[in-house]
Amino acid sequence: MMSFTKVGIVGAGTMGSGIATNLAQQGVAVILVDTAQEGVDRGVAAVNKFFSRAAEKGKISDADVEKAMSLVEGTTDLAKCGECDLVIEAIFEEFSVKEELFKKLNDIMPDDAVIATNTSCLRVSDLQKTVKNPNNFLGLHYFNPAAINPIVEVVKGEETDDAVFARCLEFCKNTAKKPIACSDNFGFAINRFFVPYANEAVRMLDEGIASAKQLDRVAQECMEVAAGPMMVTNLVKSSVMYHAQTNLAPHGAFYSVAESLKDKGPKGEDYAIDDADEGNPENDAVVADRLRAAAFFPVLQALDENVATAGEIDMGAGLALRFGKAPCELMDSLGKEEVTRILTPIIDQYGHAMPSSIDKVGSLRG
């Protein structure tokens, strides 16, 4: 049984339409809202395209397509969200833009409705202050492509009611997702390490340590990722990675944005990935150490902060990001001494303290 009967999704872009697709596929009525009719039309068309392709491949019937699409209503009228018992915000990753939306929803939503943000890096507790009922506010961070990616970070803000949090965890499970229960901190559980890992790859490119091709190859070899950090940065878009890394800045010096990302990100420029890969075993080892350090350090910090469990972080790394060697499992296999060696350059260069969870390496996964 679904814990929400009608869900409003504000923002009909890639994420919003993907969430709408997932929910309609699971039999949940959706109101997809955008500011312009062309945005609404694009979003509804994206949902229809997903189901139509599934029908063409024989995965679902034409009747299934019709049934799913009957559950999706597109509109430019934000007031329609007042019909919903859950609204998910999926708009631009800028605090002031989200704040403006939530203030509008304050005049629209019933007092008992739940409001969620799909933010990937902003603190839920900060956004929570902009709504009239902060107890009914939390984070539901879906991963792209939201229609099929199984991971959702369910983020408990400082004022989120325990029952609301539990209700949303159950809702995610009921809509074919694998939720990660997260406490609130910039980057939550997954982007907390994934974005700095990609940022570190850009730093090495900037420093002339390795080519983009070599960086991607070494990442595939040492962490068995499906796609390397430079390719993923282009796929996700440098603008998104730039904003995500900028939002992680409160965690300290290591989280500063790589120089070329400061330039390319605001302009949305891709990185060139050609066939140049002049790596050698010695150089590859340097690249591997820095990529692993950039993932391990934030993960251990997140474990210190009780953001999520080691098992949940690894589940997210494997299912959302397709890491063949998830961070905690990999650290356990390497052992405390080797992980300490890998992390020490970051500790020394950026002036951070060694996370206390280093003492648990070898048994992070229990």
CATH number, position 139: 3.40.50.720
Last residue in a domain, options 157, 183, 209: 183
Count of CB atoms situated within 10 Å of the CB of 340 = 14
Domain boundary among 152, 183, 214: 183
Check residue 294 and give its pLDDT. 98
For the chain, 366 residues long, give each residue's pLDDT as a single digit of tens.
Answer: 468 999 999 999 999 999 999 999 999 999 999 999 999 999 999 999 999 999 999 999 999 999 999 999 999 999 999 999 999 999 998 899 999 999 999 999 999 999 999 999 899 999 999 999 999 999 999 999 999 999 999 999 999 999 999 999 999 999 999 999 999 999 999 999 999 999 999 999 999 999 999 999 999 999 999 999 999 999 999 999 999 999 999 999 999 999 999 999 999 999 999 887 877 899 999 999 999 999 999 999 999 999 999 999 999 999 999 999 999 999 999 999 999 999 999 999 999 999 999 999 999 998
Residues 127 and 81 occupy one common structural domain? yes
Last residue of a domain, one of 155, 183, 211: 183
> Is 48 domain-assigned?
yes
Kindly give, in sequence order, each residue whose CB lies less than 8 Å from that of residue 100, ignoring residues fewer than 6 positions away: none
pLDDT of residue 1: 47
Which CATH number covers residue 329?
1.10.1040.50
| Whole-number pLDDT of residue 2 | 62
Same domain, 155 and 216: no
Residue 49 structure tokens? 């395209």
The answer for 205, left when phi > 0, alpha when psi is -120 to 50, beta otherwise, is: alpha
CB 143 within 8 A of CB 120: no
pLDDT of 245 reads 95
150 and 26 co-located in one domain: yes
Q: How far apart are CA 218 and CA 114, in angstroms?
A: 44
**3-class SS letters over 91-136:** CCCCHHHHHHHHHHHHCCCCCCCEEEECCCCCCHHHHHCCCCCHHH
Residues 162, 224, single domain; the answer is: no
Structure confidence at residue 149 (pLDDT)? 97
60 found inside a domain? yes
Residues 34 and 166 in one domain: yes
Same domain, 93 and 68: yes
The predicted model scores a pTM of 0.95
Domain that holds residue 257: 191-360
Same domain, 196 and 220: yes
Beta carbons within 8 Å of 7's beta carbon, 6+ residues apart: 23, 28, 29, 30, 31, 84, 85, 86, 87, 88
253 within some domain:
yes
Give the number of domains in the chain: 2
Say if residue 150 is in the same domain as residue 196: no
**Is residue 16 located within the same domain as residue 143?**
yes
Cα angle value 200/337/190 (rounded, 5°): 40
Indicate whether 37 and 107 sit together in one domain. Answer: yes
Q: Is 14 helix (H, G, I), strand (E, B) or coil?
A: helix
Q: How far apart are CA 128 and CA 117, in angstroms?
A: 9
**Residues 349 and 239 grouped into a single domain:** yes
CA distances (Å), origin 262, targets 1, 199, 202, 246, 268? 47, 11, 11, 9, 10
Does residue 341 belong to any structural domain of this protein? Answer: yes
Q: Are residues 254 and 131 in the same domain?
A: no
Q: Check residue 319 and give its pLDDT.
A: 97
